[in-house]
Chain A
């Protein structure tokens, strides 16, 4: 049992480290290191531009999308090399966030289902960050129940006509392309009538409207489709096979091993280490220590769970659904951590403006952003279902709409 690299891994790490050290945009390192949930800002630069520039620089040197084949703009690296790269990239990995969906989900889906000429045309600029992609799955009527989506695609000559609405689309406002899950046949049960496409987000009839979140920020969008035309050659997979295609996309989302999840604990421990309460230093207060200890073991538990998964990758094994616990644990933990950090501030905790608040409002921003982490990318409840069904082998939910034609499923509770 050890944390050591194999000789090949060590060699790869040193090459990666040297390149990052010589090329990373160091002027932003401090700010990126201090970013936390709800607050990743660069004071004097547009983070999207900085991110695109860093991605392009990596791509030009062969460090973009390490796990992709070379002909599509990747490096053809092993999964463990991808993890090592992420570790070495450190705070600069924050700059990859706008590409996560494109690189982690859209790209692999294109690779599995697009025509060869499309792969060669679209994947390299996706890898290099010159083009950004988004994923258009969720709808007002289909969140956790993605297969309940209602956006229609109807055949019209060699094209498909798209009408409907998507929601919670991350980054749609700066995306160039998207993969789109539609309903092509409402007369069959819901999982059977779906078809996947990719499209140009600048197509006529696509309208992107940012959603103002509960936190006040706008990371997500509504996307409306009005008679949008998509040529049939942009279909991914067979007509009616969209559900299986989407599973490929979602599997890739969950296999993002080694990506650090944010728990808020390091921030809280640092804060408590210097905070003075009415009766002395916070870190010497019995109640504070108990809270910190309980979160400390969750944070370390997640860290070493991830180390175990990385070790499995290093042995060439495929990580399983048990890695769902990272998001499940971290999501509610960061919310509790932020709540507690404000509790320690007393009445002053209510002040959230960066100029006047404690630590420039770091924990206030975290608190306001936290509810989203427990919903996006699979709610806590969906994560628990995944663990219960795929890890523990418990029965799936009884689905009353499973064998019912989609257009016969009730749409309102009352």
Chain B
């Protein structure tokens, strides 16, 4: 049994960690956090040069043609570094949607541009409150034009194109949903930035007014494609969350070793030790669930839907747990803008919602486990 990443993949992880330690220090993240730039353009360029943006994109479309396991190890490092770039929107959502459902022409147009860092993509799914569901999509598509409003759209204000979920039939059923590709620079859209929990990753409202769009995948197949995209993104985001969990745990551990109160290191108090031990437990369970998700993703296994939901839930819980208790270990200093703890707290809680909230994924997991048991 070799339920682990290969030596080459581990080497890639080390390479990504080293690169991000250099190019994506907390100081660099703060430039975006403080609103001085919408995202880190230099870092984005560097990620393209390293081949990270196109690591899972086939060579014929300008990528490195490696695979999803390679993308998983990079995702973990992106989460660890709290990278302020539109990586998940572009690489996990837009690129994966194109890979699953894009025509040859669509792939040729957008995938090389993603790999080279020239195009930022995103998924426009949500329309206000609510989780992923065909019922919650009200934006309409008729005669090749879209009308409606999407919000929140991750990285919507900096994206060049979007995969848009639209209603193409009368009821709210699954087969009334279709996906469209929209060039956001071609007119017909109005974009407004939204203040959000995590300023290092933008959110936007996008209004479509008679906006021209081309279909992505067959009409009526939107929900089925979307489900696959969300499952893949769930695994990849889970790796970011595990990377973030580990970093938050390390920060807490380091501070507990450093800080002295009552004449001793605070890390020698059991109340603090046990809090950190519990963070380690959450992070370890999440990592193991993620590895299973990575295996299912990379082999396109029938277990992917269940494995993705489990990874999503476990990693979301772990990151929220580690991020909040990291602040607790730091005490008052953890609650200052100056310390980095809140960046992980913000990211953890924003990521917990981005692909649908925990209650949605809990529901998905149970449905999928029942389906497996019935089969």
Q: Which residues of A contact B (CB under 8 A)?
A: 1-5, 9, 80, 269, 273, 283, 286, 289-290, 292-294, 296-298, 300-305, 307-308, 310-312, 314-315, 322, 325, 328-329, 381, 383-385, 387-389, 391-398
Q: In the complex, which of the residues B1, B272, B359, B366 has the most CB atoms of chain A within 10 Å of its own CB atom?
A: B1
Q: Which residue of A lies closest to B373 (CB)?
A: A273
Given A290-B359, A387-B280, A388-B274, CB of A9 within 8 Å of CB of B1 = yes
Find out whether the CB atom of B291 lies under 8 angstroms from the CB atom of A304: yes
Sorting the interface of chain B by its residue count into under 10, 10 to 19, 20 to 34 or 35 or more gives: 35 or more
Find out whether the CB atom of B285 lies under 8 angstroms from the CB atom of A329: yes
Q: Which residues of B contact A298 (CB under 8 A)?
A: 285, 314
Find out whether the CB atom of A310 lies under 8 angstroms from the CB atom of B3: yes
A-B contacts besides A298-B285, A302-B285, A389-B273, 14 pairs, CB < 8 Å: A1-B6, A290-B359, A294-B362, A297-B313, A297-B317, A300-B292, A302-B288, A305-B285, A307-B288, A308-B291, A311-B3, A392-B249, A394-B257, A395-B257
Interface segment among B38-46, B83-91, B151-159, B263-271: the answer is B263-271
Q: Which residues of B contact A (CB under 8 A)?
A: 1-6, 69, 249, 253, 256-257, 264-265, 267-268, 270, 272-274, 276-278, 280-281, 284-286, 288-289, 291-292, 294-295, 298, 309-310, 313-314, 317, 359, 361-363, 365-366, 369-370, 373
Find out whether the CB atom of A4 lies under 8 angstroms from the CB atom of B278: no
Q: Which residues of A contact B285 (CB under 8 A)?
A: 297-298, 301-302, 305, 325, 329
9 cross-chain CB contacts under 8 A: A290-B359, A293-B366, A296-B366, A303-B288, A311-B2, A314-B2, A381-B270, A388-B280, A395-B268
Given A302-B285, A397-B268, CB of A297 within 8 Å of CB of B366 = no
Nearest chain B CB to A282's CB is how many angstroms away? 11
Find out whether the CB atom of B369 lies under 8 angstroms from the CB atom of A3: no
CA distance A131 to B256 in the complex (A): 49
Q: Which residues of A contact B284 (CB under 8 A)?
A: 301, 305, 322, 325
Find out whether the CB atom of A296 lies under 8 angstroms from the CB atom of B310: yes
Q: In the complex, which of the residues A4, A298, A311, A394 has the most CB atoms of chain B within 10 Å of its own CB atom?
A: A394
Find out whether the CB atom of B370 lies under 8 angstroms from the CB atom of A283: yes
Find out whether the CB atom of A3 lies under 8 angstroms from the CB atom of B3: yes
Q: In the complex, which of the residues B69, B249, B288 has the most CB atoms of chain A within 10 Å of its own CB atom?
A: B288
Find out whether the CB atom of B256 lies under 8 angstroms from the CB atom of A394: yes
Closest 8 pairs (CB-CB, A-B): A301-B285, A293-B362, A304-B288, A388-B273, A384-B277, A387-B277, A395-B268, A297-B314
Given A297-B313, A300-B310, A301-B284, CB of A394 within 8 Å of CB of B3 = no
Q: Which residues of B contact A328 (CB under 8 A)?
A: 281
Find out whether the CB atom of B373 lies under 8 angstroms from the CB atom of A385: no
